[in-house]
Structure 1
């Protein structure tokens, strides 16, 4: 019987680190363990390793004493973990899909403005969105007047880089911003005149698209605001499932919870019990699960071939839930840092189980094409 390969498409940095076991946030052993449990052999490669003419790929595969580089038939199912920005690379993905290869998470980079539009046009998710508008001097001024506390964030980008905050005060506004370094130490705060946007903010929004959004009054834990990362994935049945969730508290001096910016990941139940003592934590977790599934279902109507979402939710002190943003390439390591090792491993098992589903059914789940 021929071995059944499952392809895992990586960025060059992770791919090149496989021989030494230096793959950043990608856990190659977790993929290997999950695939082996399902009778699959993982093969790791870059987009440039694919030979369309021979339908083969040069890949790292598990050997007796580590990984070996070998040429294997192009897997019938590929789990994309790379960021593909070049048009030539996107054309290769399109060719694979049209030729019958199942590439899930084929497209995993969507602008925050596009994601907001996708959710805003669907009644079941519109109410979950904070007030949001394209960031222009006039819209920022109007939003600041109405909400008194706004976030200005780039439509593209990650780990909280480029995000800014404006707060209305009696004598002056308060402008909080980050430098280019992704760390808690890179944040600065300065007063700003009423009626005049800070020069840095005006310069940034003139160079690339930004959104302005009302700041959600997040619930607090240990005195610090927190948000919630909900990982929603397709699994063995092909349907959306909540794999797990954790809270992320914001470090002192910042207003973002990204782990790269110093945010601290924590198991969700203890955080919820502390900040909502009158409500059973299991009830809140159930609400959060339902929230995550609603967002995933709504987005997958637009994002074909999606199978993995990292959804950030804001929970207010009075129990309201808001969508903050969504990552189509969930980094997963937050579970490991929160001490949730089994859930972290499950985030690798789910994609391999979905790969097995696709190999068995030879068809995408029907809800992908509603």
Structure 2
């Protein structure tokens, strides 16, 4: 069976150690009061996420808001006049688990809702890393996470990029290359990894940022891809890797 790596921190460290990938990783640190305050001062908005977790569970968006602070978890927004009160509330929610703080990337929007892209990369039967699918995920209304399991909507990457990129095909080709490079880096660090799902955010300049690497990505969202050959190929590669 393909290897699963749970820790986001360990996977982020691998990306940062790869020259082609490091520039696509938002500033990320283990969450402490000092790390959070420093990045809020620098970026204005950050995401706080559990080191181990799936489907966007536990992810919070934290922002400076005028003279105070606020954070959103799910659809609820809480506001604080002082940093100490903000941090105390966040620590209560984290319940002693390790959390990370990551520079916030302002996601592009589709029909007024934020979206990101899932890039699926797999080890091919000939043992070369290949991006086998790219699909878009649009957040549910008033939510900060785009995950399908959290109410997000699946939309083709081509449709999403067409509204923002002059040459969407070239952008998709660049993302496919990024997926294969990230897969190879993960396999070198964690032998046995044969599939990854990259969560990619594009900023307003269309620069891709790797928000997260999943080593057990859900292939079934690609059933919604309009080209059935994409899902069939993903499953064919998955079966081949399960036999290794």
Deviations 1:174-198 (A, max 9, x none): 21013xxxxxxxx311212232225
Aligned to 1:145: 41
Unpaired segments ≥5 residues, structure 2:
none
- Given that 2:45 and 2:64 are in contact with CA atoms closer than 8 Å, whether structure 1 keeps it comes out as yes
Q: Distance in 2 between matches of 1:191 and 1:338?
A: 40
Q: Distance in 2 between matches of 1:257 and 1:175?
A: 17
Query: Which residue of the other structure, out of 61, 78, 93, is the alignment partner of 1:190?
Result: 78
How many angstroms does 1:171 deviate by? 3.7
2:116 matches 1:227? yes
Query: Which residue of the other structure, out of 128, 140, 147, is the alignment partner of 1:239?
Result: 128
Aligned to 1:167: 63
Q: Distance in 2 between matches of 1:127 and 1:194?
A: 33
TM-score, with normalisation over the residues of structure 1? 0.62
Q: Distance in 1 between matches of 2:138 and 2:77?
A: 19
2:171 matches 1:275? no
- Given that 1:175 and 1:198 are in contact with CA atoms closer than 8 Å, whether structure 2 keeps it comes out as no
- Given that 1:231 and 1:311 are in contact with CA atoms closer than 8 Å, whether structure 2 keeps it comes out as yes
TM-score, with normalisation over the residues of structure 2? 0.93
Query: Which residue of the other structure, out of 308, 314, 322, is the alignment partner of 2:201?
Result: 314
- Given that 1:267 and 1:340 are in contact with CA atoms closer than 8 Å, whether structure 2 keeps it comes out as no
How many angstroms does 1:342 deviate by? 2.9
What does residue range 1-370 of structure 1 map to in structure 2 within 5 Å? 80=1, 105=2, 107-178=3-74, 187-196=75-84, 197-205=86-94, 207-276=96-165, 279-354=166-241
Q: Distance in 1 between matches of 2:44 and 2:27?
A: 12
How many angstroms does 1:225 deviate by? 1.8
- Given that 2:120 and 2:198 are in contact with CA atoms closer than 8 Å, whether structure 1 keeps it comes out as yes
Q: Distance in 1 between matches of 2:167 and 2:20?
A: 25
In structure 2, relative to structure 1, the CA distance for the partners of 1:207 and 1:354 (3 Å cut) is closer
How many angstroms does 1:161 deviate by? 0.8
- Given that 2:68 and 2:83 are in contact with CA atoms closer than 8 Å, whether structure 1 keeps it comes out as no
Instruction: Provide the aligned C-alpha RMSD in A.
Output: 1.7
How many angstroms does 1:338 deviate by? 4.4
The structure, 1 or 2, with the larger RCO (C-alpha pairs under 8 Å, 6+ apart) is 2
Q: Distance in 2 between matches of 1:261 and 1:126?
A: 29
How many angstroms does 1:292 deviate by? 0.8
How many angstroms does 1:330 deviate by? 1.4
> Aligned residues, how many?
243
